[in-house]
Amino acid sequence: MVISYNNDCFEQVIKCERKAITEDIEGRYLLKVKLNNDFPDTLTIAMMNPSKADENCSDDTVNKVIEFVYRKNSCKKSLIRNIGYIYIVNIFPAYEPNSGNVQEKLEGIISEGKLDMMQQRNKIAFEDALSESQKVILAWGDVPNKVKAKIHNHEAIMMYELLVQYGLKDNSYLFKYEEYSQILTNKKRPRHPSWNTPENYVHINDIWVSRNFLYIHLQ
C-alpha cells in the first residue's frame, strides 16, 4: 500500500538521496523535507533504516515524526520549536520495511565487499544533514536481531564524532514516549518511534564513547 505524506504538515521533499548499495540492494542515505510552515530551523533525526519513504511516497514512521515535530512547533513549553525542515538519516541506509530482515541485507552488503563504501557514504550524509541543523534527535533503537553490534556501534560513534565536530553535542535530544517509564531502552540505546508515537523531547545531558559503545546520560 502506498502511503502519502500528510499535506497538513508536509510541504515538499527537498532532497532524497537514493543510491544502489549492491546490484540488488538500494539505499536511502538522506531525506530532507520541508514542513508546511515558515519556520527557518532544521532538525536532523537519526533512525535505524529506511522503510519506504522517498521523493514520491512516505511511510508510517516518517509521517509520525513529521506530524510530531510539526505539532510541537506550536507548544510554547516544547524544548524544540521553530523547525521548518527535517533531515532523516539512518544507522543503516538499506531500504527494508521489516527490521527482522536487516541482517539479511547486511550479509548481502558484506558478502559483496560494500560495507566500507556504505559506511563512508553514510558519513557524508550525516555531515550534510548536521552542517545545516540546529538540533538533533537520536532515535535508532536497539541493534536488530542477529545484526552484529560492532557494525551498529560504528555508525553510532561516527554520528557522535560529527555531533562534536559540528557543535551539536549540547543540542541533542531523544524522544519520550508515554508507554515507557525509561527514556532509553533496556540496552541503553535511544528508542525508535516505529511502534509508539513520541510524546515529548528530552534533552541529552552528556554523550561519550567508552569501549566502543556510545553512552547517553540524561538529567
- Residues of the chain with pLDDT > 90, as a percent, come to 94
**What is the amino acid identity at position 187?**
K
Query: Can you spell out the DSSP letters for the chain?
Result: --B---TTTEEEEEEEEEEESSSS-EEEEEEEEEESS---EEEEEEES---S-SSS-B-HHHHHHHHHHHHHTT-TT-SS--EEEEEEEESS-B--S-GGGHHHHHHHHHHTT-HHHHHHHHHHHHHHHHTT-SEEEE---SPPTT--HHHHHHHHHHHHHHHHHTT-GGGEEEEE-TT-SSSB-TTS-BPPTTSS---EEEEEEEEEEETTEEEEEE-
Summarize pLDDT for 92-103 with one digit per residue, the tens: 999 999 888 999
Summarize pLDDT for 114-143 with one digit per residue, the tens: 999 999 999 999 999 999 999 999 999 999
What is d(CA 26, CA 118) in angstroms, rounded to the nearest whole number? 11
Summarize pLDDT for 128-186 with one digit per residue, the tens: 999 999 999 999 999 998 898 999 999 999 999 999 999 999 999 999 999 999 999 99
Cell of 127: 555531515
Burial 67-79 (b: 16+ CB within 10 A, else e): bbbbebbeeeeee
